[in-house]
Structure 1
Amino acid sequence: MRIAICEDDLLHAQLLVKMIAHWQKTEEGQKETVKTEIFLSAEQLLCSKEESFSFDLAFLDIGLKQMDGLELARHLRAENEQIILVFTTADALSAAKGYEVDAFRYLVKPLHLEQVEEVLSQVCQKLQKSKKDALVVMYDGKMHRIWKQDILFLEANGHYVEIHTQEKVVRVRVKLDEFENQFSGLGFCRCHRAFLCNLYYAEQIDRDTIWMTNGVQIPISRSRQREVNECMISYYLG
């Protein structure tokens, strides 16, 4: 888990680092490899833009000078929609604004170890669930979280895989085999060397074609017909 701390008071930032290190010694904390970085201003964090893509969690001081924590959060959310945002503030009333950017939690200063450890454990659980239920991919210069249940099918195209959902198509540079392993047991069927299909969205299936709910016809290769039949039986009959 990569954690960013954006706090213009270095002592407060260092105290939070110590609290995170203390949590790492707990039973739950030992399950996670944690890397923490301190940024003393919003501008400093945004200047390391290539790094901000990969943060899982950000502790942001709402009362930052120049660009405040709320505005920083808007920038981070625009670039990395799956980042978890936790605000720290000396003013409990200002914390309510955090929900404008889907803040996970807010902590009122002075920070207490128990509160920080509780947040870290909750974030850890959320990340583990997200890894099971969603894909996180880099597309068009941004990090995207795609819920597996929203994927109709995946199509290999050269060195890329196109992920088709009901709303968009996301193109990523990866092998289809890697996705097949991740989607094992989730109702996805490798019906062709170039296609991985979500049977939930299959409207009609015959010997050599799967008709999807969006009208797309996906071929079933002759060598995979038996595999598709077994996959269908497992999916529909349990």
Structure 2
Amino acid sequence: MIELAIVEDEDSYASQLTEYINKYQSESGNKFKITRFKDGDEITNGYKGQFDIILMDIEMKLMDGMTAAEEIRKLDQDVIIMFITNMTNYAIRGYQVDALDYVLKPVSYFAFSQKLGRAISKINKRSTNVMTIEMPSGVKKIYIDNLLYIESSGHNIIFHTFNETFSIRAKLMDYEQQLLGYHFFRSNKGYLVNLRHVDGVENGCCIINGESLLISRARKNDFMAALTNYMAEVI
């Protein structure tokens, strides 16, 4: 199911886009859940990173589409934004918010379906293993495959990825449940390790991205069994 938002203040255009999406759905077999917003402030207010594609009108009364896109990009780097406009001079600003494309008014079904197909292809190329994390400043999406390990520290947990480290107030066991089936395993009570990224085991520690993470005595046999099973699956 593809979560798609239409942000359009004109009812006639919103209805036309909905009609085109339903037609594309019947032709392609892709399933859409469509949510309509009448202004940029509606979609940015309480935005939770729930959409895969946003069709954004640029000219709206309370908050224009470009401003709304800038606000959304602060919270969500992955959502695909496509602008709906009758003006072509927004291209440079569009690059600043990583807009995928523009749909020019009046909208033709052929042009729209081609651009929507391009957006769906981009979605399909991404890893389907995405985790959404509630942050104090908004929401953050991370690809599970890029997550090295999660560390418990007091009342917080720390996410370690290839590119960054960040923390939230949460319990490790909450994410241990979410990551069941993704080859994560506790090396000790403080580390939840992505077995995909274990480079080796030395001196009672597993080596991940050059770091040594302690394997507790109580968990050593189970951890080694889980690691062996994972390696057997991927070879």
**TM-score, scaled to structure 1:** 0.77
Aligned sequence identity (%): 21
- Which residue of structure 2 lines up, in the alignment, with residue 205 of structure 1? 201
Residues 69-127 of structure 1, C-alpha deviation per residue, up to 9 Å, x if partnerless?
21111011112232211001112232342111001111111111123223333333433
- Aligned residues of 1:2 and 1:35 also touching (Cα < 8 A): yes
Query: How well do the aligned residues superpose, as a CA RMSD in angstroms?
Result: 3.1
- Which residue of structure 2 lines up, in the alignment, with residue 38 of structure 1? 37
Distance 2:206 2:50 in 1: 37
- Which residue of structure 2 lines up, in the alignment, with residue 55 of structure 1? 51
Change (3 A) 1:154 1:144: same
Change (3 A) 1:52 1:175: closer
Q: Is 1:92 aligned to residue 91 of structure 2? A: no
- Which residue of structure 2 lines up, in the alignment, with residue 12 of structure 1? 13
- Aligned residues of 1:90 and 1:108 also touching (Cα < 8 A): yes
Distance 2:50 2:130 in 1: 16
- Aligned residues of 1:207 and 1:225 also touching (Cα < 8 A): no
Distance 1:148 1:225 in 2: 20
- Aligned residues of 2:195 and 2:227 also touching (Cα < 8 A): no
Change (3 A) 1:8 1:229: closer
Residues 19-60 of structure 1, C-alpha deviation per residue, up to 9 Å, x if partnerless?
11212212332xx24132131x223333xx225532222111
Distance 2:231 2:54 in 1: 44
Structure 1 counterpart SS, 2:89: helix
Can you give the 5+ residue segments of structure 2 that lack an aligned partner in the other structure? none
Residues 136-195 of structure 1, C-alpha deviation per residue, up to 9 Å, x if partnerless?
3222242212133432213467998643224213445634033131x24xxx55545664
Can you give the 5+ residue segments of structure 1 that lack an aligned partner in the other structure? none
Give 1:231 shift.
4.2
Give 1:130 shift.
3.4
Change (3 A) 1:203 1:45: closer
Distance 2:48 2:110 in 1: 27
**TM-score, scaled to structure 2:** 0.78
- Aligned residues of 2:40 and 2:64 also touching (Cα < 8 A): yes
- The size of the alignment, in residue pairs, is 228
Point out the structure with the larger helix share: 1
- Which residue of structure 2 lines up, in the alignment, with residue 179 of structure 1? 179
Distance 2:59 2:166 in 1: 39
Q: Is 1:24 aligned to residue 56 of structure 2? A: no
